[in-house]
Structure 1
Amino acid sequence: MRAGYRFGLSQHDQSLTLQFKALSPALSLETLDARLAALVAFRPGALPLRPEWAPGQTLVMALSARILQVAAELQRSVYLPTFDAGKILACRPMPDQPGGWAMTLAVPAIDYFPPPLLHQLYSRVTTLVLNLANPVHTPGTIDQLSNEIDTEIRLPARSAVPLSQSTYHLLRTAQAAGMPWRHTGNGIFQIGWGERQTRVRSSQLWGDTALGCETAQHKYWAAQWLSQAGLPAAQHGVANTEVQAFELARQLGNSVVIKPVDRDRGEGITVLPQGEEALRSAFLAAQQYSPQVLVEAWAPCVCHRVLVVKDKMVYAVKRLPIAVEGDGVNTIADLIRRANERRQGLPVWQRKPPLPDDTQTQACLQLYGLSLNDVLPAGQWAPLRDIESTAWGGIDLEMTDHIHPENIALAIRAAQVFGLNAAGVDIMSTDITRPWYENGAIINEVNVAPLLGGGPASLRTLPALIAHLLPNGAHIPIDVYLGGPEALQAAQERHATLCQSGVNAFLCTPNQTWSSHQKLLPTLHQNLFDRCLIQLGNPQAGHLVVVIQNTEFLTTGLPFNRCATFTVVDAQKCQSAQTGALASDEEVRQLLSLFSPPERGQS
């Protein structure tokens, strides 16, 4: 069953029960918090204490609050969108277990995340928290605990739903803007309701053409498409053998870049291999990723990533390889060592790859007349790789306010060539502030589903990106009527008025769905929750009228996070979804309470 809004969280939620046996008096919140700070690099929020709580209850409430926070933090670390940590719904003594407590928690729910895996995750986090709170227990080194958490908690969670950093940051931005979202399956998320929606997977948008995506990812054919459109593309050829690679390199003047023909993120790339043996090694390295290898004329330029979304530039950055910044005191080798020591102090999953000091680094430094033993002046950078790549990382310098308008137009045209609503266009240019046709700039790649949230420029511009994707907001008006026959009649009259005024309004009752043409729509779904979800996912729906005539939503939660109007007509005639008899006063009160939090009430 898909999750709804039930317990007042800012996202879909569900209940979870934890049971604590009699807690050891040795447990220490101070010890727990100190270990959590060292282990997962965050400090739990304060728990508001209540005078009516017994000492044992105060402890179990504090432990439960930390379990919620740690579980949410670990889920977020694998890009699961658990933005709301959850809350404690009830804390009751266990009658058959002296000193034991039963905790009912509200936790975030993500559709298609297996319930057994969710219970396993919270169970293991509970064990972790209790062990860390025990001063007598020796938890092991940070590396040992990090690896244990990675294996037992993070990896199973990460394998449950195919997600990415880009998806996470898009959803986080939408959540911060009050926009609804839900997982529709296969790592694809719907942001917004009805006609005010978009769908995303990673940073690939609904509407990107399949042929364009396929071609853009093949570097040779992508260059042909760009050339056919009159745009500047790289000069290169495809080699299937070493002999072909040698011949292409000779034709291109032997100053070449070797890369797989259909891989992104800088994988398998060698820049300027010198000599036959180096060229052979570069060819074999690229062939590990793809049977076809691209031999490309080297362009003495710097790569600039221009993010284009729906024919608009969102940001532009100059992409530089990983480097260390001099301080006038330490050698380059010392700077690398110190940076790696700082990274080692973080949990395993927060560590970036160690900065390299290998032979490839030394060769790169030699190109700039440097060595590992040199001391750089303060503010000077020493590159440790010849290109920026996802594997090694890099440094992005924002150029959004400096890129020339002609280069923006070039990037937009390149995205249009492939029919992409979102594209990371890589322009190789000696000076991105000058028009591309003045300095021989070329389009090196057009990236499908470019990384979002990977750097300051991307994070800064995400709110504007979301607003550009959904310029009219993410909510369609929803009118809710609660009651019996009179509520149904009022809803039907409202629906008729909307339809007659030309609004694409749909009417959902517990048993039927009516279209914007006031026609009955056949559907296999026989409950109101699913009927509403169908129309919330319908890109033709501009307005929704909902009639609540039973207590179904007490079990499922609400399918939407807010409504435009909420009208109670004849609530005493609501039926119980369990018995079919009239709902009790308490059930009606609970129904009304679903609409009482600000995020559930009238907008």
Structure 2
Amino acid sequence: MKKAIEFLRTTYLRGPNIWTYRPVIEAWVDLGELEDFPSNTLPGFFERLTGMLPGLIEHHCGVGERGGFLERLQEGTWMGHIMEHVAIELNNLAGLQTGFGQTRSTPVRGVYKVAVRARNEQVGRAAIVAARDIVMAAINDQPFDIDHTVQQLRDLVDDHHLGPSTACIVAAATERRIPHIRLNEGNLVQLGHGKAQRRIWTAETDRTSAIAEGISSDKDLTKSLLKSVGVPVPEGEVVDSPEAAWAAAEDIGLPVVVKPTDGNHGRGVSMDLKTREDVEKAFEFAARHGSEVMVERCIPGVEHRLLVVGGKVAAAARGETAWVVADGVATLRALVDAQINSDPRRGTTELHPLARLNLDDDTAIRNELARQGYTPDSVPAAGQRVLIQRNGNVAFECTPEVHPEVAAMVGLAARTVGLDIAGVDVVAEDISKPLHAQGAAIVEVNAGPGLLMHLRPANGEPRPVGAAIIDHLFPADASGRIPLVGVTGSTGTTRVARLISSLLLMAGRHVGLACRDGLFLDRRRIDAGDASRWDAGQRILINRKIDTAVFEHHPAGILGDGLPYDRCQVGVVTDADGLAGLADWHVVEPDHLYKVLRTQVDVVDESGLAVLHAAEPMLVEMADLCDGAVVLYALDGQLPALAAHRADGGRVLFAREGQIVLADGAQEQIIAPLPGESDTGDAAGTLAAVAVATYFGVSPALIAAGLEAGLGMSRA
């Protein structure tokens, strides 16, 4: 019996970090005695682990092909590495697909850092703990309930991860490299940063007006507005009693539909009513689901849901009625289970496009059976076809079938109500024909429509509804981004960040600044605490006023949180002197520090700029890592690194005879006098700030004025 692997620290790195651009769970684990027992020394371990998790065969690992990890497992690898792959597999089984993981040793024998991509913090933390327990069960030949563990992880996904509709929109934003920030524990998400941001709440956006939502929730008002612009709607009226409902039905003409005026998702709706008894029962049913009840003409045909985004049809789904055929022996309850609920597409989770039918809990189904003279326990005659559910099951993909006139009509309906995103319910016998030609009609226009029917249809291919919503919110030339500047190092970084912010403010920008002196919006300090960590950076990014943001990052913050953004326009690295303060992170060698500092350079955008201190050879080496351009700076203009960069046509800044000189290749320009700071580190930091300012087009005159005034030099 081997002693369990011990967790020393588990950290959720929420932004780009030393491992990857994406959030990860980083677990420090102590293998203890297992440091002396790689996988190939434990008889039966391979068979037991792969028996519990057969999906491990899909892991490529360092071999680079299917089965690569199993090859490593048989050759012999250590338990930290194995935990990494088990955690990856558990995330995949829980529905959060990932493939990234890394395991590295530390200077302490038997202690490893295990990093695994974590799309959700709660699921990631639970997966790494479960991975340890599974590995130990395989080592000690003990039983382990994998199915129960996976279900627990799936429950965590349901409780804590974005819902599938919101997740598909966020995924489409990510595909276009539009960043996102989750603003609550639910589905309120910011897309983009600062003044370029938009917000969604599932399928509602910050363009969805409260007035339009109010109109859509009032079915009678909606019908009145649609009718006034020529959209076909069923004749109907609001009633206040069962007797009035029957009187309205007689006036309209049978059959009729009875429904709440402010219901949704088909709740309280009864269709194809032909008798007084049915109409009056339907009134009572509808009254329980809404504030008022409406009676309207029953339109012949099938229910369709058309998703309208920005006035255009993005997807369409058709409903199907549900029937059973009796055998003269089984009850309707049993027939429903055998003929309808046995369909693998039906279930109780969002993974199933069709819902299971429950005759005991669904009043609409029981009412439908009662109109036919049945109860759930009835045994109809053999061969009798019984209608179980008239409306619902709207999950059958039919977007290519939608007639252009129908698309135009539902687009008009959404615009008339005022919704930028709407679910328009159409009843028609054939959606490929114009509505007027077949007596079809639009029966509802809904705000905040569900997207699942289009993402997981019961037939056909999913529709790219997330991309349609993103394209609606962000035209092709919009990225949702504002310029971000990150400054890291260990010496003078607060001063550099404040000076950059001040120079950009002078140029007329609205700047958010997060640094160790506090949190600033333009020139106003709103928080006096240390604001150089992840959460403070997020506060800057959600502010709708700012068009530029500056962040100070200490290496310890990168190690403990990651960066608060995925990409930046400018990354500044001032020095490589911070090794002494990072021992608690097992960062004890220069190459360890290099990996931390390079995080700032790794996230510079292709159109952006890395600003690196050329007096630090380690930082000069980072130039090759930058996706964008590179500016090198140093007080000594004769440094070989500056000369080499200039010879390659690169941009450099240096000091000469008290002046700041900007050189592009062989061309030189005097920017401003260099303030007479006594500290050479401060003087070099001034060059870094000026490099950023010139990148953003701040004029030499403004830079000179700012430096002369001492902007950003003193603490608030």
Query: TM-score, normalization: structure 2?
Result: 0.63
Tell me if the contact between 1:306 and 1:317 (Cα under 8 Å) persists in the aligned partners. yes
Tell me if the contact between 2:313 and 2:407 (Cα under 8 Å) persists in the aligned partners. no
Rounded Cα–Cα distance in structure 1 between residues aligned with 2:579 and 2:134: 45
Change (3 A) 1:10 1:179: farther
Q: Does 1:552 align with 2:551?
A: no
Aligned to 1:16: 27
Give ranges in structure 2 of 5+ residues lacking alignment: 1-11, 64-68, 324-333, 360-364, 373-379, 606-625, 629-716
SS at match of 2:567: coil
Aligned to 1:142: none
Aligned to 1:481: 487
Aligned to 2:472: 468
Q: How many residues align?
A: 550
* One-letter amino acid matched to 1:15: E
Aligned to 2:114: 104
Aligned to 1:595: 600
SS at match of 1:123: helix
Rounded Cα–Cα distance in structure 1 between residues aligned with 2:243 and 2:449: 34
Q: 2:85 aligns with which of 65, 73, 76?
A: 65
Query: TM-score, normalization: structure 1?
Result: 0.73
Q: C-alpha displacement at 1:257, in angstroms?
A: 1.6
Larger Rg: 2
Q: C-alpha displacement at 1:446, in angstroms?
A: 1.4
Change (3 A) 1:602 1:514: farther
Rounded Cα–Cα distance in structure 2 between residues aligned with 1:149 and 1:73: 7
Identity %: 20
Q: CA RMSD in A?
A: 4.9
Change (3 A) 1:458 1:266: farther
Q: C-alpha displacement at 1:56, in angstroms?
A: 6.0
Q: 1:459 aligns with which of 463, 466, 490?
A: 463
SS at match of 1:411: helix
Tell me if the contact between 2:208 and 2:420 (Cα under 8 Å) persists in the aligned partners. yes
Q: C-alpha displacement at 1:488, in angstroms?
A: 6.2
Q: C-alpha displacement at 1:203, in angstroms?
A: 1.2
Mean Cα deviation higher: 48-57 or 196-205:
48-57
Rounded Cα–Cα distance in structure 1 between residues aligned with 2:57 and 2:282: 47
* 1:278-325 residue CA offsets vs partner (Å, 9 max, x unmatched): 33443444445346433221112444433222x33142425131679x
Q: C-alpha displacement at 1:256, in angstroms?
A: 1.0
* 1:477-510 residue CA offsets vs partner (Å, 9 max, x unmatched): 3233334777667656655665566554444433
Q: 1:46 aligns with which of 35, 42, 60?
A: 60
Aligned to 1:5: 16
* One-letter amino acid matched to 2:114: T
Rounded Cα–Cα distance in structure 1 between residues aligned with 2:141 and 2:483: 54
Aligned to 2:376: none
Note the 1:470-549 alignment, pairs <5 A: 470-471=474-475, 472-483=478-489, 495=501, 498-499=504-505, 503-513=509-519, 515=521, 519-523=523-527, 526-529=530-533, 530-548=535-553
Q: C-alpha displacement at 1:560, in angstroms?
A: 0.7
Aligned to 1:184: 183
Rounded Cα–Cα distance in structure 1 between residues aligned with 2:386 and 2:504: 63
Mean Cα deviation higher: 123-132 or 65-74:
123-132
Change (3 A) 1:292 1:514: closer
Q: C-alpha displacement at 1:590, in angstroms?
A: 4.2
Rounded Cα–Cα distance in structure 2 between residues aligned with 1:62 and 1:490: 44
Change (3 A) 1:403 1:184: same
SS at match of 1:195: helix
Rounded Cα–Cα distance in structure 1 between residues aligned with 2:87 and 2:555: 35
Change (3 A) 1:446 1:178: same
Tell me if the contact between 1:551 and 1:574 (Cα under 8 Å) persists in the aligned partners. no
Rounded Cα–Cα distance in structure 2 between residues aligned with 1:57 and 1:239: 74
Q: C-alpha displacement at 1:426, in angstroms?
A: 2.1
Tell me if the contact between 1:85 and 1:108 (Cα under 8 Å) persists in the aligned partners. no
* One-letter amino acid matched to 2:597: L
Aligned to 1:307: 307
Rounded Cα–Cα distance in structure 2 between residues aligned with 1:465 and 1:167: 11
Aligned to 2:633: none
Rounded Cα–Cα distance in structure 2 between residues aligned with 1:46 and 1:273: 60
Note the 1:221-240 alignment, pairs <5 A: 221-227=221-227, 231-240=231-240
SS at match of 2:549: strand
* One-letter amino acid matched to 1:69: E
Larger relative contact order (CA 8 Å, sep ≥ 6):
1
Rounded Cα–Cα distance in structure 2 between residues aligned with 1:521 and 1:602: 33
Give ranges in structure 1 of 5+ residues lacking alignment: 77-81, 140-144, 325-332, 365-370, 375-381
* 1:499-552 residue CA offsets vs partner (Å, 9 max, x unmatched): 56655444443324555xx63443355312344322211223333333446643
Q: C-alpha displacement at 1:555, in angstroms?
A: 1.9
Rounded Cα–Cα distance in structure 2 between residues aligned with 1:173 and 1:528: 30
Note the 1:137-536 alignment, pairs <5 A: 137=143, 149-150=150-151, 152-160=152-160, 163-187=162-186, 188-227=188-227, 231-290=231-290, 292-309=292-309, 311-321=310-320, 343=344, 350=351, 352-354=354-356, 387-389=390-392, 392-399=393-400, 402-404=402-404, 406-430=405-429, 432=431, 436=435, 440-452=439-451, 453-455=455-457, 459-471=463-475, 472-483=478-489, 495=501, 498-499=504-505, 503-513=509-519, 515=521, 519-523=523-527, 526-529=530-533, 530-536=535-541
* One-letter amino acid matched to 2:539: I
SS at match of 2:517: coil
Rounded Cα–Cα distance in structure 2 between residues aligned with 1:589 and 1:93: 17
Rounded Cα–Cα distance in structure 1 between residues aligned with 2:394 and 2:140: 39
* 1:49-76 residue CA offsets vs partner (Å, 9 max, x unmatched): 69998966356633541223213541x3
Tell me if the contact between 1:398 and 1:457 (Cα under 8 Å) persists in the aligned partners. no
Q: C-alpha displacement at 1:14, in angstroms?
A: 3.7
Rounded Cα–Cα distance in structure 2 between residues aligned with 1:53 and 1:439: 66
Tell me if the contact between 2:346 and 2:355 (Cα under 8 Å) persists in the aligned partners. no
Rounded Cα–Cα distance in structure 1 between residues aligned with 2:60 and 2:182: 31
